[in-house]
Structures are given as structure tokens and as C-alpha cells.
Amino acid sequence: MASWGEASQSRLIGKRIARLSGKDKVTGKAKYTYDINRPGMLYARILRSDVAHAAVMDIDLSQAEALPGVKAVIPLTEAGRNLRYQGQEIAAVAAETDDIAKDALRLIFVELEELPFVVTEADAMAENAPQIRDWEGNQSKPGINEQGNVQAAFEEAAVTVEATYHTPVQTHVCLETHGHVTEWTDDQNLTVWASTQAVFGVRNDFARRFEIPANQVRVITEHMGGGFGSKFGPGVEGHTAAQLSRITGLPVKLMLTRRAEHLVAGNRPSMTQHVKAGASSDGRLVAYDMRGYGTGGISSGAGFQAPYVYHVENRKTERFNVATNAGNQRAMRAPGHPQGAFAMDSLMDELAEKLGMNPLEFRRINDSSEVRQAQYTLGAQEIGWHRRNTVPGSGTGVKKRGMGVGSGQWGGGGGRGTQARVTINADGTVEAVTGTQDIGTGIRTAIAIIVAEEFGLAPTDISVKVGDSGPGLPSGGSGGSQTTASVAPVIKTAAMAAKQKLFEHVAPLLKAPVDDLRVGTGTIYVASDRTNTVTWNQAAGLLGQESISEGGNWDQELRQGGVAGTQFAEVEVDTQTGNVQVLKIVAVQDCGLAINRLTTESQINGGVVMGLGQTLLEERIMDPQTGRMLNANLEDYKVPGTYEIPEIKSIVFDTHRKVTGVGEPPCIPTLGAIANAVYNAIGVRIRELPITPDKVLTALAEKKA
């Protein structure tokens, strides 16, 4: 049975190893979809609605078509149809240069009749609001879940807290916007460079859309500039590029503008929770009643986790979606979890305070995860939990410090559907091929580490080919923190099979049985006589014309689902400016077996930074008067920059030797940890994210009054 072996036996797995793509990325050689330049390539742009809701009366493309340098103009809607959010597609242009395409967009004449719209949850739910989709009152049918006896439990509770928590819509802000370069070699064969986190999903989508066999679509994603859950399909822009390419017979590049990226390329839905919860005098969470909603724009899918992490025997939840005239939500890093964690961790602290308990102790009582119990101890030591204000807001001076804690959980653990091939050539070179994609998490390097460990080679000796559907070795999309746990077992078993085959060639030479052979560092030797050895290259040389090429299988024993995490934050709040500076985050994150500790730490850092952004900075601001997003750029939509970055202590918390995954979970506990630290610093609770200076100052003023 396959296993990853003991940590002490691992030469590479679990060590800190520089990623293979590093050199290409620091020298500018790495080619992203956006960097692909093909001979004769056209540039395409999309004309988008600049209003929230309108009926299309007329579209006139003739002047755009007549502009010199324009090769094709196509409508993406038609008279009689409705545009239901700002940014929705009207028409597209392909031209010889990007500037000509820009000019041509201004030459498309459209007549729209504006329709009533709602862009905020409050407006959508207001009496007499215009109904914008097939939901009465713009609200989906609520999902109701009840367990235990909530009413009786509240009577038992020693303390109760009633509060409303809100998180706004957050956008993904992929630095490489969504987009494709499309090229038809003939009318039945399409090559697509796609900025995607699902190479094979995109291949199959294009095949269906253009009614050609899937193996006649080749999708290439050698590098991609961030997806965070928003890049699983080609979208309108992908289909449009391929359509323009087909019409013109030329390669077409169509990348979304930064503005469109905010408007139409997905977002994390908002969340509003009205929650009432009760705890017993001995610190048990006994009753929980929550009614909540969120908006995913014109689409559904605005779910969130509630209650979260901590166990409540008696609970009732009711949740629904609110429709607004805004772009569709898409999965975003740990969908539903960060917002749920913010509400729950805030609630936990509010209950603990009413009970007069240390919030960490209150968590310990209500958290059934043994892993997190250990993480609480480690994290508290690292942050110096004893230094926190026992009375919130009791610090002196203008700048006040505080500490908080938050928790999270995730699934991971991978799944079936990956095929891979590990090849040993007679010249000693090794190749590992699979159809997964490296979205920045470092799977390319993880694959090299696994194969190199198995063969006694260095990761740089392994040529890893991912991000290409050409070889016909499928793998799933990179979502749910599933990539490593889906791919690693297949690579590992393929490498084991290839090694076995090589041993069969070597055994006669060493005059030893196959099962007595082992790999050393660049060698193969006989276990019972370690002086009896050949180098890796000598062994491979025995292959002559026939390379070894083996596939693998998804071995259940090599992976496991379920991770726990906890984070502690220390913040400093300037009570004169309202600015919150995070000083330190301690992130204790379980991720199963970390194949590469260095890139795992990077993932944890990245999760913390994204969680920090959601807590303190990020918010899609919709103008109820004009129906437009007011901050669809990178100046007014704030993402964390260098000044916001605290000291981050990322602790890879080893629990077992099976691969699980870590992409999403580290962005979850950050919100509650920071929000609770702000409360601990100033003694006023802010229940609505992001915690911006205006909210801090208002809260402080209300406290004074």
C-alpha cells in the first residue's frame, strides 16, 4: 500500500523548496495568456452596458465596421432583450490594434430604454421595489433548518446576545484579468490560451459551444495571474474571442479591462445576519437563531456558513438570496466561510464578555476539534495572549492595542479525475505530465518534489508539464483547495510504477532481486549490499530505445479531507484618525502533509493578506442613484498594499502524513481575529465590514455619547 512514509525518511517532501517557475517569473520570461502574441493577431474589446437595467431598442454596428483596421464587429445582445446589470455585454469588436478596437467601441450606436433597478439589498427588499427577477420581493424562497429545541434552549441560557453582522460584496481582483487568445487552425480545430483555473473544463466548454470534438480543442495555461475561484469557464468573453477568431480567420486576444473585471467577472456575495444566541453560565453555547441573506447580484448563490465551527445543539437558521442589478457572484476563496467566520467569531466574543469569560476559554469549551484545541495553545503562546486587555478598551494613549482570535475549517482532500504520466528516458531525463494547472499555488513544483523523492533525484531534474490539454491527460479544476490532493496521489503512484519498471531493468545487472533494490541520491543500489550500485544515468541507459512511461491512480490512502485553522491578531487603533493597523497575525494552519513547506507558507501568508483586505479595506460600492459601481478600479477599490502588511507568523501545523490542501482555509480566521482585536483595543464593536476609519470614529463617538 502506498504511503508518504515517515517525515524522517523524506529527503524532499515537507522541506522548503524554491518553486521551479521562479526563474521564468523573476526574469519576465513566463508567458501568461495576456502575453501571448501570435502572428497577425487581432485585439478584441467588448462594449458593455453602463447602466444597471435597460431594454435594448436598437444596435447599429455599421460605423464601427467601417472604421479602417476593424476586422469584425458582432452583437452580443439584440433589440427586444434586457440588460440586467452594469457591464453586461452589448457588442464586440476585433481590430488590428487595441487602440483601433477602443475607437471602434465608440462607433457602436445603441439605443436603450432604461428600466427601474435596484443595486443595494435594502432597495431590493424595500416595499414597492421593482421586481427584477422571478423572486417575489426580489427574495428567493428561504432555506430553513431547525435542530433541537431552540425556544426552550433560550429559556435555559444564562446570557443572550442579539446582533446584526454584515459583510459587503468583495471582488476577486485577479491581476491578470479574465481573457483568452483564440486561434482556429481550421474550422474544426481550435487552440485557446486561457487564463483559467480549469484547463480541461474550459476545453470541454469550448467543444460544446462550437460543436467540435473535445480533443480538437487545445487549451494552454502555462502560467496564470490569479483566479481565486472566478476562472472556471470561458465566459462570454471566451466564446466571443473564439467567435471573432472564427469570423476573421485570425488569432484574437480578448482580455477584460480592469473595470469589466470588477463588474462582470465574479464577486464574493454580501452577507447580513440577524442572529440571537445564548450560552449557559458554565460557558456552553446552547441556542442559536439566525435569519440572514446576501446578494450575489442577478444570480443566486449568496450562501454562507452559520453557525460556524463551534457546535450548538439547538439551532435554527433561515437564509435567502436577494437579487440586485449587479454582476453575478462566483466562487471566491473559501466561498461562504470568511463572512460566516466573521459573524460567528464576533458573536462568540460578545457572548464570552457577557459571561465574563476569556474568549479563548469560551472557544475551548465549545470547539470539538482536537486539532484546533492544540492550535489555540500554540497560537496564544506565539502572540502573547496574556498581554491582551482583560478590560476591552482599557489601554491608555491615542493609539490603543488589542488582541483577538478567530477560527476556520475546510474540506480539501482531493478527488478522482486526474490522469498523469511519468516518463524515464534512456538519457536519464524524467518527465511528469498531467492536465492540472498552476494557478500560483506551486503544483508544478509539488509534482517535481514527489517524483524526485521517489527517484532519488533533485526537483530541478524533473521536467514537469502542466497547463495543457494537448497531451490528453485530464485533471480537475483548481477549486476547493483540491488540486494537490487530487494530483499528488496519481503522480506518486505513477512514479512508483515507473521506478518498479526501472528496477526490473536494473536487477539483472546488479544480480539482485527487484524488491531488494532502492534509490539513493542519483543512484540505485542493492539494500542487502549497499556497495552494489549503479548511477541513475547508467540505469536509465539500459532502456535503449524504450522509455518507461507509467500512469498512476488516485490512491485513497495518500489523501485525507478536513483541515482546521486558528489565527490570533494584534492591532493598534489610532483613536484620533480611526485607522486600524494590524501589527501581527499568528496563523496556525493544518493542511495535512505539506509537500512543499515554503509554498505552503506562501499560501498561508496570502490567505491572511486577503482576509485582512476583506476585514479592513475591500468593498464594492454601488450607487443607488445611478446603479453604477463607484470603485471599479484599483485606486478606489482598496486591496492590501505594503503599508497594510503586518508581521505574519505562518505556522504549518503538521497533523498527519496525508495530502489535504491549503489554498482556501488560511483566509478564513483572519476576519474574526482582527475584528475581535479591534474590539479589545477600543471597547466598541464594529459589526459591519470593512472596518474603515469612519466606522471606528463613529463608533468611538457613540461610545462617548
Partner 1 sequence: MSEKEKEEKKGTNISRRSFLKGVGTGTVAATVAPATILVGDPETAEAQTDEAISKSEIQLNINDQVVQIEVEARTTLLSVLRDGIDTQGNYVDLTGAKLICDKGECGGCTVLVDGKPVYACMMLAMDAQGKQITTVEGIANGDELHPVQDAFIQHDALMCGFCTPGFIVSSVALLNENKKPTLTEIKEGLSGNTCRCGTYPFIFDAVETASQKM
- Our finding on whether 282 is near partner 1 (CB under 8 A) is no
Nearer to partner 1, 66 or 152 (CB): 66
* Span of 47-55, 141-149, 293-301, 422-430 interacting with partner 1 by CB under 8 A: 47-55
CA separation for the pair 261, 637 (Å, rounded): 12
- Our finding on whether 266 is near partner 1 (CB under 8 A) is no
Question: Which one among 72, 93, 224, 540 touches partner 1, defined by CB under 8 A?
Answer: 224
Nearer to partner 1, 307 or 640 (CB): 640
Distance of alpha carbon 140 from the chain centroid: 26
- Our finding on whether 8 is near partner 1 (CB under 8 A) is no
- Our finding on whether 103 is near partner 1 (CB under 8 A) is yes
**Site for partner 1, residues 643 to 682, rule: CB under 8 A:** 643, 645, 647-648, 650
- Our finding on whether 81 is near partner 1 (CB under 8 A) is no
C-alpha cell belonging to residue 678: 479591534
Nearer to partner 1, 129 or 543 (CB): 129
DSSP letters for 244-306: HHHHHTS-EEEE--HHHHHHHS-EEPPEEEEEEEEE-TTS-EEEEEEEEEEEBTTB------S
Nearer to partner 1, 359 or 607 (CB): 607
- Our finding on whether 47 is near partner 1 (CB under 8 A) is yes
Question: Which one among 370, 633, 656, 701 touches partner 1, defined by CB under 8 A?
Answer: 633
CA distances from 481 to 216, 442, 553, 588, 659 (A): 29, 12, 19, 17, 11
* Span of 159-167, 217-225, 512-520, 549-557 interacting with partner 1 by CB under 8 A: 217-225
Find where cell 497533523 sits: 655
Supply the minimum distance, in Å, between the C-beta of residue 382 and partner 1. Answer: 15
- Our finding on whether 18 is near partner 1 (CB under 8 A) is yes
By the 8 A CB rule, do 389 and 681 touch?
Answer: yes
CA separation for the pair 392, 498 (Å, rounded): 61
- Our finding on whether 630 is near partner 1 (CB under 8 A) is no
- Our finding on whether 591 is near partner 1 (CB under 8 A) is no
Find where cell 443572550 sits: 160
Question: Which one among 5, 7, 81, 111 touches partner 1, defined by CB under 8 A?
Answer: 111
Binding-site size for partner 1 (CB under 8 A) equals: 94
Question: Which one among 37, 528, 531, 545 touches partner 1, defined by CB under 8 A?
Answer: 37
**Site for partner 1, residues 150 to 179, rule: CB under 8 A:** 173-176
**Site for partner 1, residues 564 to 583, rule: CB under 8 A:** none
Handedness of CA 323, 326, 332, 334 (dihedral sign): negative
- With both helix axes pointing from N to C terminus, report the angle between 337-355 and 669-682 in degrees, rounded to the nearest 10: 40
At 203 the three-state DSSP class reads: helix
- Our finding on whether 225 is near partner 1 (CB under 8 A) is yes
- Our finding on whether 93 is near partner 1 (CB under 8 A) is no
C-alpha cell belonging to residue 153: 434552549
Question: Which one among 416, 460, 641, 656 touches partner 1, defined by CB under 8 A?
Answer: 641
Nearer to partner 1, 112 or 699 (CB): 112
CA distances from 275 to 318, 343, 417 (A): 10, 9, 41
Contact map string, positions 120 to 139, toward partner 1, x by CB under 8 A: ---x--x-xxx---------
- Our finding on whether 625 is near partner 1 (CB under 8 A) is yes
**Site for partner 1, residues 418 to 447, rule: CB under 8 A:** 439-442
* Span of 157-165, 278-286, 619-627, 679-687 interacting with partner 1 by CB under 8 A: 619-627
CA separation for the pair 3, 569 (Å, rounded): 37
What residues are paired with 317 via a beta bridge? 145, 290
- Our finding on whether 90 is near partner 1 (CB under 8 A) is yes
Supply the minimum distance, in Å, between the C-beta of residue 175 and partner 1. Answer: 4
Nearer to partner 1, 238 or 607 (CB): 607
Neighbours of 35 (CB within 10 A): 16
Find where cell 490528453 sits: 472
Find where cell 429559556 sits: 155
DSSP letters for 333-396: SSTTHHHHHHHHHHHHHHHHHHHT--HHHHHHHH---HHHHHHHHHHHHHHTGGGS-SSTT---
Supply the minimum distance, in Å, between the C-beta of residue 336 and partner 1. Answer: 20
- Our finding on whether 80 is near partner 1 (CB under 8 A) is no
Find where cell 522509455 sits: 547
- Our finding on whether 639 is near partner 1 (CB under 8 A) is yes
CA distances from 147 to 76, 152, 275, 314 (A): 48, 12, 16, 5
Question: Which one among 396, 521, 528, 642 touches partner 1, defined by CB under 8 A?
Answer: 642
- Our finding on whether 51 is near partner 1 (CB under 8 A) is yes
